[in-house]
Structure 1
Amino acid sequence: MGTADYSELLWMVSIATCIKLLLVPSYHSTDLEVHRHWMAITSSLPLKEWYEDETSEWTLDYPPLFAWFERLLAIFARRVDPIMVDLVKGLNYSTDTVILFQRSTVIIADCVLYWGLWRFCRKFTAEKQRILCAAVVFSPGLFIVDHIHFQYNGFLLGILLLSLSYLREGRNVTGGFWFAVLVCYKHLFAVAGPVYFVYLLRHYCRGVSWFSNFMRLGLTVISVVGIAFGPFIYYGQMGQLMKRLFPFGRGLCHAYWAPNFWALYNTVDKGLSVVLRKLGKDVRAPKAAMTGGLVGDSSGHAVFPNVTPAVTALLVLLAMLPCLVRIWRRPRRSEIVQWVVYAYTCGYMFGWHVHEKAALHFVVPLSLLIADSVKAAGDFLFVSTVSYYSLFPLLFENREYPIKVPLLLLYEFAMATYLPHYFVNMSPDRVSNSGVESEEPAESTSDKSESSPRSDWTMLSSLQEVELLGTVRKLYLWGLLPVEIYSQFLHPYLFKDRLPFFPLMLVSFYCSVGLFYAWAKQLMACFDQPKPDIHFQI
């Protein structure tokens, strides 16, 4: 990567860091106390008691590598304020020093995200690097979830980008290593495990050396898992650890429904129960009846059958099956990002107790594809708008409203404005009908573009032909405006304190329609005729 390109990324990171620092005093969720308590657990208790502690309701429920990450942070936290990592005195301890320290750890940890992004983009053209870096660095979802609400998603997504960068280069063992590391940091990323397994099995474990390759890959993954979980196996804690990692008793849906298939399922169930009761039918209505927003209460249904964790797992695998079949038939490193995105979308749409924040798992890697084709850019623009808007209810205080709305509007406006210019400025000799660079770029491409610039009229005409969003998707996105006006302003005026969960349900239901449509489009792509291999400059 050239010095000039590297400096552009540094400028973007500098601007993003300034924005993050301005967000330090903003609202933070209970996740800040959760991670503070995890620092206290890992620094105050012996290893064998980490997953047994119940001093607080915020028990440790991330895999061991993340626990060690918290232990590392606790070393510095103790120097800043010892009470911060005190298991008893530190309960609900929230001072300006604590908030500043924890906010700073998220900002510093984002260096892993920038490392993964740089590595993924480093061999692309300068223009392609610029658009991909901007799409990730200025993601409003990461600002909202990590730097206001408070979490460490950027750090974890950076590990995912590292893994994908190595797979795109054909360095399969290293890519598998980083994915194993990622899963041992946060187990929810394991949803893409079937895609990784089938791809590596077919792309790497083949030919005369298939067995040695298989053993090399297997030993690499087992070593990572062994280092992470080995001590807990030694202490006989694996049963307790698994209960913490997979708390199936929490219910089908999170307190605020993630906009996925189950939001549609729940809303239709609720609507049918109301209609049937008005018709005189005897319909049971479980407590909270899917509208109380209470964890654990949202698994009961009035009309439709109740859903179990096994059913959701089966649906995720079935939804992923066409993608796995395609990878099995033709494993191509140029498509690995696309199918990892699809895997995380399946997990989001059909998984058990999905958090709305999990949308970052597929939106951020999807941004890596926006420069490959006009279609991919349009898909990203649509999915990112809907997904990031669905995060708005996380910031429910009025003082954050002037922050979250401009963050989303400015980002999507910039993407919608710049992406058409990007595709227009690409040389026609290197762009196929889909907008993807052709296998062998013409040697005179750069000279031609410099010596024979297009006229303003031609540029304008070409720009009009670059249609990122069709009529249906545009109308749907405009529909977000009345949804926001009603949920934010009209509902409180009309109903006061009654039906407090209805605005959340409305946002979730409307966004779930859009994301389900986007998932269905990805599903159909699994059956598309594969295009010839293309050159991605990696």
Structure 2
Amino acid sequence: MIFQIVLIVSTIKCLFIPLYHSTDFEVHRNWLAITHNLSINEWYYDATSEWTLDYPPFFAWLEYSLSFVAKLFDPRMLQLDNLNYASDMTVIFQRLSVIVLDLVYIASAKSCANLISDGKLLVFILLVSNPGLLMVDHIHFQYNGFLYGFLLYSMSNMIRGNYVCAALWFAVLLNLKHIYLYVAPVYVVHLLRAYCFTISTNDGVHTPWYSFSFMNLLKLAITVTTVFALSFGPFLNHIPQIISRLFPFKRGLCHAYWAPNFWALYNFSDKVLQHALPRAGIDVPKVEVSMTGGLVQEFDHVVLASIKPIHTMALTAIFMIPALVKLWHLGADRKYRTVSFVRCLVLCATTSFMFSWHVHEKAILLILIPLSFLSVLGDVDGRLFLLLSPIGHYSLFPLLYPKSLLSIKIFMLLSHSAIAFGNIPRLYEQPVKPKKKPRRGFLRLPMLGLLESLYVYGLILLCVYENFIHTIWGLDKTLPFLPLMMTSVYCALGVAYFWVSYYYYFLYFNVSRVPMLGTGNLTQYAKKVN
């Protein structure tokens, strides 16, 4: 069935080839031209196009390698001054390059699924059919799939106890796309606790104690340093320029379409106060530019305090620390340390998504993909995945704004949700003696409470308003940004609820319940690690 699933998903990706693609298509075409025509000393300085190279060096080398294959399809796509070039052969090459590189993601998804006894096929299906990746990579156009492949490879090696390999894969990932710095603290803490603090036993007392292994730390340091040296070594004289490209803080607090995080709620509150306070007789400064204008630039808030990058960094660090401290203590329990690592990764990814500077909506996938793996390992993980999955994937709908794509977006989301809601609850069903099973309630979705279910149903009403009612009422010209703001704010409420719920679960999880992880899925690998 693995082959059949891969064949079906790959066929769907091929059917998406002629569909709409975003400006990211031109971004990557331009990077092909830059790396193919210019010396490496010029890669991070070229400004022929506004879409300058702003990914780490390993991704630049990937574009350089792809450029030689691209030349066989259409050499004109490699001309630096041939901006916005999108011939049929260019489109076919770009689309096929994403599909082929996705083989890395498919192989890594199978590697993670092999760690599981109950729900192995389900995890594989949830990962390879992820509607967010299908929308972002194969319609909107980006190369996220194979990057998440490296993340899953790193996770699977960490679970198997191959700590040096896990560090290697993650270091490579950081040098392909720096957004994964969001979860780097989780790797640092877990590798130090699980690998560098070895367990010894006093034979007389049989009490375990921990000793620091300098040799293991040296292995990790050599591995990570080597990867970064290979990546940045050829650009040693240009590192300040590369850093300025990788971290452009002048882009503003939020993207043109607000990611559904804390800052979406903050911006919305500022907009409400801006209009409400004058009616209460309180003067509010008038501004000529608006954060809802759809532009990527810095804006000052009118009523609430304006936010600077240092504020977002501080908030992210403050809210990460409790989770990292908990991870450090949970690392002492060998049965639980592997699952706690993935849970903390999800939690810190969510924290970064909630509070970081200029978060892209696509970063929600950094939460959903590892959470898909966890959904079969614990009932709370499964329940919160069922809640966040439709919210997170719906929040990506505005990326595909043409009306002709609405049916495709809805079909992918409903299909994935049907697979999840139809199978995950079965893993946690308890056998009941009475002949009649207890009634769940007409409106309640499996494993979700009534209010949680009503919130998920609210996505349907939101979709109807945004795609039909807003236009029928003639508001698409006077308030064009309203549907996007509604999506951001509504989904932000759900993401915030998930973050608080999962944080509480992680901090107060009782380690003594580890044998009740529903499936015993990772037992064989726990023995190997021991």
TM-score in terms of structure 2 length: 0.90
- Give the equivalent residue in structure 2 for 1:19: 12
- From 106, 121, 125, the counterpart of 1:130: 121
Q: Is the 8 A contact 2:343 2:506 kept in 1?
A: no
In 2, the alpha carbon distance for the partners of 1:224 and 1:397 equals 41
Tell me what 1:198 maps to: 189
Q: Which residue of 2 aligns with 1:94?
A: 86
Residue 232 (structure 1) shift: 0.9
Work out whether 1:75 is the aligned partner of 2:55: no
Alpha-carbon displacement from aligned partner over 1:413-471 (angstroms, at most 9, x marks no partner): 221112223434x8x7xxxxxxxxxxxxxxxxxxxxxxxxx99x86x738969941111
Distance 2:438 2:28 in 1: 51
1:9 to partner: Cα distance: 1.7
Q: What residue identity is the alignment partner of 1:461? A: K
Partner of 1:228: helix, strand, or coil?
A: helix
- Kindly state the Cα deviation for residue 281 of structure 1 after the two structures are TM-superposed: 2.4
Q: 1:258 and 2:238 equivalent?
A: no
Of the structure 1 ranges 163-172 and 478-487, higher mean CA displacement relative to structure 2 is found in: 478-487
Q: What is the CA–CA distance in structure 2 between the aligned matches of 1:279 and 1:516, rounded to whole Å? A: 30
Residue in 1 that maps onto 2:528: none
- Equivalences, count: 497
1:338 alignment partner in structure 2 = 343
SS at match of 1:505: helix
Deviation for aligned residue 1:373? 2.2
Is 1:107 aligned to residue 107 of structure 2? no
State the match for 1:508 in structure 2. 488
1:329 aligns with 2:329: yes
- Secondary structure in 2 matching 1:27: coil
Aligned to 1:214: 217
Percent identity over paired residues = 41
Distance, in Å, in 1 between the alignment partners of 2:459 and 2:128 is 25
Specify the code of the residue in structure 2 equivalent to 1:36.
Answer: R
- Runs (4+) of structure 1 moved beyond 4 Å? 462-467
Structure 1 segment 1-40 matched on structure 2, within 5 A? 8-40=1-33
Provide, for residues 315-369 of structure 1, a one-character-per-residue CA deviation record: whole Å limited to 9, x for no partner: 1111111111101212112221111111111111111101111111110111001
Q: Residues 113 and 156 of structure 1 are in contact (CA less than 8 Å); yes or no, is this contact kept in structure 2?
A: yes
CA distance in 2, matches of 1:245, 1:142: 23
Cα separation, 2, equivalents of 1:419 and 1:464:
16
Report the residue type matching 2:367 in the other structure: F
Give the residue type in structure 1 aligned to 2:18.
Answer: P
Q: Distance in 1 between matches of 2:72 and 2:476?
A: 47
Task: Report the residue type matching 1:216 in the other structure.
Answer: K
Q: Counterpart of 2:98 in structure 1: which amino acid? A: V
* Equivalent position amino acid for 1:283 in 2: V
Q: What amino acid sits opposite 2:499 in the alignment?
A: W
How much does 1:139 deviate? 0.9
User: Among 526, 530, 535, which residue is 2:506 paired with?
Assistant: 526
Structural mapping, 1:360-399, within 5 Å? 360-399=365-404
Q: Compute the displacement of 1:86 (Å).
A: 1.4
Matching of residues 289-304 of structure 1 within 5 Å: 289-297=290-298, 299-304=299-304
Contact in 1 for aligned 2:384/2:502 (Cα 8 Å) = no
1:279 equivalent in structure 2: 280
Q: Point out the more displaced range, 140-149 or 405-414.
A: 405-414
2:164 to 170, 173, 178: 173
Please list every run of 5 or more consecutive structure 1 residues that lacks an aligned counterpart in the other structure. 1-7, 429-453
Aligned to 2:419, what secondary structure does the other structure show? helix
Indicate yes or no: 2:437 matched with 1:461: yes
Q: Distance in 2 between matches of 1:463 and 1:44?
A: 66
Whole-angstrom distance in 2 between the partners of 1:221 and 1:76: 30
Hey, what does 1:414 align to over in structure 2? Answer: 419
CA distance in 2, matches of 1:326, 1:463: 38
Answering whether residue 340 of structure 2 is matched by residue 314 of structure 1, we say no
When residues 307 and 463 of structure 1 are mapped into structure 2, their CA distance, relative to the original with a 3 A threshold, is same
**1:348 is aligned to 2:353:** yes
CA distance, structure 2, for counterparts of residue 286 and residue 103 of structure 1: 43
Match of 2:271 in 1: 270
The alpha-carbon distance between structure 1 residues 463 and 61, as it changes in their structure 2 partners (threshold 3 A), is farther
1:323/1:81 CA distance change after superposition, 3 Å: same
Residue 527 (structure 1) shift: 2.0
Equivalent residue letter for 2:8: I
Query: Are 2:343 and 1:305 aligned?
Result: no
Deviations along 1:357-397, whole A, 9 cap, x unmatched?
Answer: 11111101110011112221111111110000011111111
RMSD: 1.8
Q: Contact (CA 8 Å) 1:390, 1:508: kept in 2 or not?
A: yes
Matching residue of 2:175: 184
Give 1:482's aligned residue.
Answer: 461
Q: Judging changes above 3 Å, is the alpha-carbon distance between structure 1 residues 228 and 143 closer, same or farther for their aligned structure 2 residues?
A: same
Q: Work out the CA distance in 2 between the residues paired with 1:496 and 1:211.
A: 63
Q: Distance in 1 between matches of 2:245 and 2:114?
A: 39
